[in-house]
Structure 1
Amino acid sequence: MEVFTANALPVLVGSMPHKSHRQAVELIFSATPSIPIWPQLPANRQEGMLRQFLPGMPGVTERDGKVFIDTAASDFETHFLHFFEQYLAVEEGAEEIDQSRFTMSPAEAAGFFAFLEEARLHRDSVIALKGQITGPITFCTGLVDQDGRAIFYNEQLRDAAVKHLALKARWQTSKMAQVKERPLLFFDEPGLAGFGSSAFITITPADIATCFSEVIAAVHGEGGLAGVHVCANTEWPVIFDTAMDIVNYDAYSYFDRLLLYPDHLVSFLQRGGILASGIVPTAAEHVAGETAESLADKWFTQTGELEHLGLDARTIFAQTLITPSCGTGTLSESLAEKVLSLTAQVSMLIRDKMGVV
C-alpha cells in the first residue's frame, strides 16, 4: 500500500451550517477535491455530536427532549446482553458488520451517503477520503445515564460505548476504503479540552489511552489512518503517546501550547505522525480579518519555530495537512464558505512556495 504523504493538502472539519447535504458535498469537493470529507449538518436534529452516533447503543432513551442511557429500564439488561452478543459476532466474523447495529443510516448520516456517491465519481482523482466520528472521551463524558451521571464513570457502559464507536469507525473506514484505499478517520474530541481540569479530575492518561487504543485499532484494521481533532488546548502528551497517526489542532490560537511538549512533538513527527494544522480560524471575527496570504505567512512562521526543535522544513511540510481550526457548523453559510475557500487557498500558497503543484 502506498505511503500517505500529506504535503500541506487541504482537509476540512466535519460540521457545516448548510441544510442541503448535496449542496454541502458539492462545496466540499470543489474546495478540497484531493481529500474530501463528508458533511455533518447540525441544522438537522439527528446530526448533533452525540445523537448522530447513538443508534445501536443499548438503553438509549429520550424524555422531555433529553437523551440518556436508562440502565433502570426493565429490559435494559436484555438489550445490553444482545449488544455484546452482536459485538462478539461481528468481531469473530460470525456476522457481517453491514448487517449489524454498527452501521450508519441515511436517517442520521445522509451526508456520508451523498459523499460516497460523489466520491465514486472521482475515485481516480482523489488522494484519500476523510471521515469523522465523535471520539470516545467526548462521547462518554457527554452522554449520561438516567441520574445525569456521565457514562464514562460506569465501566460497563464506557466499555460498551468504546466498542460501539470502534465498530462504527471500522464500518465507516471500510466503506471509504472500498472507494479509495488508505482513508482517514478522525475522532472529534472537543471534550479533551477539559482534560486536567477539576471536571475531569478522576480521568487518567491511562483511561484515555485505553479508550483510544481500541478505536484506533479498528481504523487500522481496515487499512485507514486514525486522527484526532481537538478544537482547543489539551495536555498533548496523552495523544502523542497513543498510536494516533494524525493530530488535528487549532494552530491559529494554540500553536504555542503545542510547543510546551517539544520532546513528544518531535517524537511524534519522527515516527511519521502527521500534524493537521488548523491554521484557518473559524471564529467569525477572525475569519473576516484574515487573508490566505496572512495565514500562509503564519504557517511558515510556525514552521520556523518547529525547525528550531531540530526538525527539517521539508519533513514538516510532507507531514502537514492544512485545515480549519474547527468545524463551521455555528457560522453563517457565507462565512463557512469563506473558511472552505481560505483553507484551499492557504494550502495552494504553501505548496506553491514549497515547489509542489
Structure 2
Amino acid sequence: MEKPTPFKPGCLPALIGSLPVKDHEEAVDLVAGHTPDVPIWIQLPMYRQEGMLNQFVSGVPGLVDTGDKVYVDTSSQEFEEGLMAFYEEYLAVTEAGQPLEESRFAMKPEHAPGFFALKNRLETAWPQEFSAIKGQVTGPFTLATTLMDQDGRAALYDDRLRDVVVKILALKARWQAKVLGAFGKQVLIFLDEPALAGFGSSAFLSVTKEDIAALFEEIMEAIHQEGALVGVHICANSDWSLVLDSPADIVSFDQYEVFEQFVMYKKDLKAFFDAGKIVAWGIVPTIDKELVMGEFAESLEARWQTDMKQVEALGIDRATLLSQSLITPSCGTGSLDLEASLRVLELTQEVSNMIRYKEQL
C-alpha cells in the first residue's frame, strides 16, 4: 500500500461522531452528503451498545452487564483468570505476531455497526475521492473515570483496570487504523475525552498532568505505529496544554463557546502549528436546538474569520493556519433532534465551503 501524503486539510469539513438517527445506512448517507472529503463512521447513541462506555469495553476481563449497568467485578477468581488471559492475548498480538483482527481487540459489528456500514460504503459506492478517513474511540481518561468496579470505584484508581483500559483502547484504535488504512488515505483516529473538561476540579484533584500524559502515551503510540494521525476531542473548556503539549496531531474543540480560553495557551498553540499539526475548529454550535437554528453560515464564517485574526496575531501565518485547519461542529449531534442535527451538518458544510471559496483553497 502506498503511504498517504502528509495531510493538510485546508479547512475541509468533518464531523465529530454521533447522529440522532435509527439507521446506520442513513447515517452514512448523511456523512456522504455533507462531509464526503473526510468520511467518518457514526455512533447512534439511541442504541445502548453504542454509548461511550459500552462500545469499547468488550474484551475487558471480569466485565458484568446487568442490563441496567456495566461494571467490572474484580473480587472474583474469574477476574484474576481473565486478567491473565487478557495479557497473554495482548502479548500474543503485540510481540508474538498473532493477527490483530483475530483477537479480542478487533471491533465487531454488534459493537460498532456504524464502522462496518462506512467500510462497506467506501468499498462499494462512495460518491467521490476523499482526503482522509476518521475513526474514534472513547478517550482513556473518560473511559477510566466512567468504568467502575463492583464497589463503584473508577478504573482510573485501580492500577490493574487502568492498564487494561489503556491497552484495550490502544489496540481497538490500532485495529481501526489498520482496517481504514487499507483505503490508502490518511487515517485520523480521535480520542473523545469529554471528562477532561473536569481536569483540575475537585472531582480529580489527585490526577496530575503526568497521569494524563501516561494514559495518552501508549494509545497514541499504537495509532502512530499504523501511520494514522491522533486527534483529541474535548467538548468543553479544559487545560489545553494537556493536548497541545502531547504527541497528538489534531486538537478538536468547541470554538463557538471556548475560543477565548483556548487562545490563552499562546506558546503551546504556536508550537503546535509550527510542528505541522492541525486544529479542528468547532465553530458550529451543538449545545441546544435554539442556538443551532438561530445561526447562519454567514454569521459563523464571519465569526471564524474574526477569531482567526487573533490566532494570526500569535505569530501563525495565514497560509499555515488555513492549511492546518478542519471545520467541524463543536461536538456530536446525538443529543439534538433530527431537524437541528441536519442543520448542524448543513452549516458545517456551508461554512467550510465559504472559507475555502474566499481563500481559494
TM-score, with structure 2 as normaliser: 0.97
Alignment partner, residue 225 of structure 2? 221
Percent same amino acid among aligned pairs?
47
* Other structure's SS at 2:132 match: coil
Measure, in 1, the Cα distance between the counterparts of 2:177 and 2:185. 10
Kindly provide the amino acid, as one letter, of the partner of residue 24 in structure 2.
H
Measure, in 2, the Cα distance between the counterparts of 1:210 and 1:83. 20
CA contact (8 A) 2:18 2:334 kept: yes
Alignment partner, residue 248 of structure 2? 244
Say whether residues 1:67 and 2:73 are aligned partners: no
Post-superposition shift, 1:62?
2.1
Alignment partner, residue 8 of structure 1? 11
Post-superposition shift, 1:160?
1.1
CA contact (8 A) 1:182 1:224 kept: yes
Measure, in 1, the Cα distance between the counterparts of 2:178 and 2:62. 27
Post-superposition shift, 1:64?
6.3
Post-superposition shift, 1:106?
1.1
Kindly provide the amino acid, as one letter, of the partner of residue 304 in structure 2.
W
Post-superposition shift, 1:333?
1.1
Kindly provide the amino acid, as one letter, of the partner of residue 260 in structure 1.
M
Kindly provide the amino acid, as one letter, of the partner of residue 138 in structure 2.
T
Say whether residues 1:318 and 2:323 are aligned partners: yes
Indicate the RMSD between aligned Cα atoms, in angstroms: 1.1
Alignment partner, residue 303 of structure 2? 298
Alignment partner, residue 347 of structure 2? 342
Post-superposition shift, 1:124?
6.6
Kindly provide the amino acid, as one letter, of the partner of residue 23 in structure 1.
E
* Other structure's SS at 1:326 match: coil
CA contact (8 A) 2:32 2:127 kept: no
Alignment partner, residue 284 of structure 2? 280
Say whether residues 1:78 and 2:81 are aligned partners: yes
Post-superposition shift, 1:71?
0.2
Q: How does 1:327-338 map to 2 (within 5 A)?
A: 327-338=332-343
Measure, in 2, the Cα distance between the counterparts of 1:4 and 1:63. 44
Alignment partner, residue 156 of structure 1? 160
Post-superposition shift, 1:142?
0.7
Say whether residues 1:260 and 2:264 are aligned partners: yes
Superposition misfits of 4+ residues, deviation over 4 angstroms: none
Post-superposition shift, 1:181?
2.9
Match of 1:127 among 128, 131, 148: 131
Measure, in 1, the Cα distance between the counterparts of 2:184 and 2:302. 33
Match of 1:25 among 19, 24, 28: 28
Measure, in 2, the Cα distance between the counterparts of 1:3 and 1:259. 25
* Other structure's SS at 2:282 match: strand
CA contact (8 A) 1:34 1:125 kept: yes
Q: How does 1:46-61 map to 2 (within 5 A)?
A: 46-61=49-64
Aligned residues: 356
The answer to which of 128-137 and 117-126 deviates more is: 117-126
Measure, in 2, the Cα distance between the counterparts of 1:222 and 1:336. 33
CA contact (8 A) 2:136 2:189 kept: yes
Post-superposition shift, 1:318?
0.5
* Other structure's SS at 1:106 match: coil
CA contact (8 A) 1:17 1:336 kept: yes
* Other structure's SS at 1:183 match: strand
Measure, in 2, the Cα distance between the counterparts of 1:243 and 1:81. 30
Measure, in 1, the Cα distance between the counterparts of 2:31 and 2:342. 9
| Cα deviations by residue, 1:32-63 (Å, 9 ceiling, x for unpaired) | 01001001001111000000001111111123
CA contact (8 A) 1:129 1:180 kept: no
| Cα deviations by residue, 1:77-108 (Å, 9 ceiling, x for unpaired) | 00000001000100014311111000111111
Measure, in 1, the Cα distance between the counterparts of 2:242 and 2:42. 28
CA contact (8 A) 2:36 2:127 kept: no
- Structure 2: gaps spanning 5 or more residues: none
- Structure 1: gaps spanning 5 or more residues: none
* Other structure's SS at 2:83 match: helix
